[in-house]
Amino acid sequence: MSKFHSVYPHVLPNISDWPIYKLARDRQEFIALLEEEVMDKFTEKYGDDLEKIIAKTIYLEKKRCKENPWKIDPANEIKYWSALGKEFQNNKSSENPDVKNRQLLKKITNRYCEEILGDFKIKTFKFARRFLTSLFKRLLTAAADRRHLLWGSRKKLYKKISVAGAIEKVRSLMTKGTVVIVPTHLSNIDSILLGYAMDGVAGLPAFSYGAGLNLYDLELVAYFMDRLGAYKVDRRKKNPIYLETLKNMSKLSIERGVNSLFFPGGTRSRSGELERNLKMGLLGTIIEAQRSLYQDGKDEKIFLVPLTMSYNFVLEAKFLIENHLRYTGREKYIKSKDQAKSYRNFISFFWKLFSASSEIYLSFAEPMDVFGHEVDHEGNSYNQLGQELDLKEYFMMNGSLLTNSQRESVYTKKLADKILESFRKTNIVLASHMVAFTAFRLFKNKYKDLDLWDLVNLGEGAFKIPMDDFVAALDLVWGRIKALVEKGKASTLDKYSNMTTEEIAKEGIANLGVYHNKKPLIMEDGVVRSQEYKLLYYYHNRMTHYNIDIKQEKEPSQELILD
């Protein structure tokens, strides 16, 4: 079971003491260092292949501008890359093409640095904080009582964002080194809610965090992104110069003590599952940064904190699951609109959140060092036998601190495994997850001869089950979850221990159906059924990693069993 915490005072009350503010204050100096670092990396990595790298980058960027333009792109972008292409061609016939190409590389790197790096300002951050608080409080009050236009209380607002886990240790480590939060990722609103919750509830200074450039299409969201410490990530750009700039920006900011937050899965979970695979690139920069600090003679440590986010309903669930099914089912699906790119849906989501007996749950896992070892409140690392560790030894070779990319790649994979294990342990299983999992397994068993894509496209009346039979199946699932919680392999809410399985079923069905027009599950006239099987499948997937496989001792009346 998970213990939830009240609101904490700020670890660093003065915003001018926040590392992210200091980075923004010295923005141009940081960009100059970043450019130098990227140039050195390219010289080291590619050497004589620099001409090929530049040619590839210009080609891919011109192709992106023509085939996949976004309204957030600079108005002159196609002209810019066309001009660079001509400059590159002219370099070939110049007296010193190598020097010219390095100048061109620096120009491209500078453009990417300016594009990626955000700009944190105290005044605008305070305004963003007040604005979000006022907006959320107003929605909370209006949702609770539509007849009154009074402002809601901040205390009630914070109760809608429940925070659990090792917060005290995280707060302590903020004063001992650099903290990197690595959360699960479900929705485009994750960044806003995380930034708001960690500031207002956990009392942590703002983090530097990556936000997809596509979010900046929505002006309201874009306005706050820069002011909550965001740096832009354009996933369309796959060229080596952009990726190297992005990686080194992360590494260099962490080295400078800027607390960071990034989604290690890379993007929103399309299927609704917890992350099963992590992106090694940004994770690797954390290990690189720790090694670089030691090589510079500094003893500062970097700490990782896995964090799971649990929602009863997800803003873009329909878009995400159709995207997932289209990818896995190919021609059987067409693209639907991303619901997050709409002011109306954005406000509607929060309205439904505040009007329902529903919260957003953030679960902080036990912090670890860059190798996945346990750390104490002072930041000391320990192995499984409780012996204190000196992390410098992991970077030593023949008595010296050396860079070894292959060795660090192995370290990164082991760290990823530790984070995934932590996600599974600290994920808060909600009643809505359990009812969705149970219902879809029963549904799937009834039509066991159909493949998934045909299954989720069946008509609305294809699945019905008496409430008594549904509760019997849910009881088996709830029993397995309790067993996992006792073994420390899952987390859930304390209140469920005092509820009957039928009460859990009713709460889960009610919360699961709050946001969507077509409900994943509804209960009426003593029968449980679904109006939207794709959504039911999406919410079911939140529990697939627990590998629950239970048979009912007594078959229900409609011959539906949990497979």
pLDDT by residue (tens digit) across 125-140?
Answer: 888 888 777 777 666 5
pLDDT in tens, 235-272: 899 999 999 999 999 999 999 999 999 899 988 999 99
Spatial CA neighbour of 199 closest among 12, 353, 347: 12
* Cα separation, 470 vs 50, whole angstroms: 63
Residues of the chain with CATH 1.10.10: 428-546
Contact 463/443 with Cβ under 8 angstroms? yes
**Does residue 12 carry a pLDDT above 80?**
yes
Q: Which two tokens stand for residue 379?
A: 């930041």
Q: Within a 10 A sphere around the Cβ of 281, how many other Cβ atoms?
A: 15
Asked if 50 and 105 count as a contact pair (C-beta separation under 8 A), the reply is yes
The residues that bridge with 165 in the sheet, in sequence order, are 364
Q: What is the pLDDT of residue 34?
A: 93
**What is the structure's pLDDT at 351?**
62
* Residue 155: other Cβ atoms inside 10 A: 9
- Reduced 3-state DSSP string for 132-151: HHHHHHHHHHHHHCCCCCCC
* Residue 10: how many other CB atoms lie within 10 Å: 16
Q: Is the dihedral of CA 210, 216, 221, 227 positive or negative?
A: positive
For residue 361, the cross-strand partners are 162, 310
CA distance 50 to 75: 28
Residue 142 has pLDDT above 70, yes or no: no
Handedness of CA 262, 264, 265, 266 (dihedral sign): positive
Residue 563, pLDDT score? 43
Return the sign of the alpha-carbon dihedral for residues 68, 69, 72, 78. positive
What are the helix (H) ranges across 256-339?
280-295, 317-329
Identify which of 462, 390, 372, 313 has the alpha carbon closest to the alpha carbon of residue 180: 372
Strand 400-401 with 396-397, pairing: antiparallel
- Start-end of CATH 3.40.1130 domains in the chain: 4-19+119-312+359-426
Distance CA 94, CA 103 (A): 13
Q: What's the topology of domain 428-546?
A: Arc Repressor Mutant, subunit A (1.10.10)
- The strands making up 464-466's β-sheet, listed across from edge to edge, are 464-466, 527-529, 522-524
pLDDT of residue 330: 52
Percent of the chain surpassing pLDDT 70? 86
What pLDDT is attached to residue 331?
Answer: 43
Of 47-51, 317-321, 467-471, 526-530, give the lowest mean pLDDT range: 47-51
Strands (E), 154-295: 161-165, 177-183, 208-212, 230-233, 260-261
pLDDT given for residue 157 in this prediction: 67
Burial class of 291 by CB neighbour count within 10 A (0 to 12, 13 to 18, 19+): buried
What topology is assigned to 4-19+119-312+359-426 in CATH? Glycerol-3-phosphate (1)-acyltransferase (3.40.1130)
Top-confidence residue, 509 or 146: 509
